[in-house]
Structure 1
């Protein structure tokens, strides 16, 4: 079993392509050591990051705590999906998915909306987790094609 979570955050300062490439490269190296996989997306229009992480539970939680302390952004919501049977993104230590990847399906908007608007006060945790996992599986299948 693999632990997974997703979060959305608001960038405090603009990220240019160079800063984004550096961030993704460093994250990929670090995640490789931690046995964490997933992807990152930046919506430049909204200045929001969306990230999906999967791996050993303690490693993912420790990394998430570190991410929350990063002053380049402000975490708006974290949803712990919990344990899943297997990795959805086994080959991606940290894949940056540019907006072009999502344009045909506009999934980043859906995922951000899920995290920004779905709360346990309004929706059951299971509904949030089910929605996020369904969309993450679609992304994994689309990227594999």
Structure 2
């Protein structure tokens, strides 16, 4: 049985085992992929897990000493659910993600396309942490990841500056501060569920439909998808407070 364990924002998987000699554990770093061997043999699972966590701490000190100190990093992904999600299930998913992200210093939002049963999620936080979290998300059996778009710092700042320089449907975007590299788009959203109806209320139905369609087609890729995601996210940031979202 495998359980998730996080240390200073880096996520690990610890698996418990038992053989004729006793209990032992193995572990894997979800950020760099390093897999640890047997922790030693112990009388119970607790002892084996504690030994694995000690090995993890050593790996962390050697390989990821400043995981939380990285520059702000963003990515978005689209995925296909293996079965339909009800509104209750979506609320529970978002609440669980928000609780985890609070520990990881990750923020963002999630939406779900009922017609195609696909997810779209935007994540931002320290790069090592976000990439490790994406590895965990990709391994979730409840969906199949179709497309992952990494958004560079330069792309994020350029989009923010462009949004601040023009009117969007009669609404002027707030200018980004000079230290834009340290500013999150969604600093208070540990993981906000934004429904298609929410987007319609904010007059964003067309742009979110375009992004969702693009994320279902990995072959598109490139600047087109990145620009669409950033346009969606900038408009959502600016309009959400007005819509009391």
TM above 0.5, one fold? yes
Task: Name structure 1 gaps, 5 residues minimum.
Answer: none
Alignment partner, residue 19 of structure 2: none
Which is bigger in relative contact order (C-alpha 8 A, separation at least 6)? 1
Alignment partner, residue 111 of structure 1: 211
Structure 2 residue 61 is matched with structure 1 residue 61 = no
Size of the aligned set, in residue pairs, is 142
Alignment partner, residue 37 of structure 1: 107
Alignment partner, residue 90 of structure 1: 187
Alignment partner, residue 131 of structure 1: 228
Alignment partner, residue 79 of structure 1: 149
Rg larger in 1 or in 2?
A: 2
Structure 2 residue 75 is matched with structure 1 residue 5 = yes
TM norm structure 1: 0.89
Contact 1:8 1:78 in 2 (8 A): yes
Task: Name structure 2 gaps, 5 residues minimum.
Answer: 1-70, 157-180
Alignment partner, residue 70 of structure 1: 140
TM norm structure 2: 0.54
Contact 2:111 2:119 in 1 (8 A): yes
Q: RMSD of the TM alignment (CA)?
A: 1.6
Contact 2:77 2:145 in 1 (8 A): yes
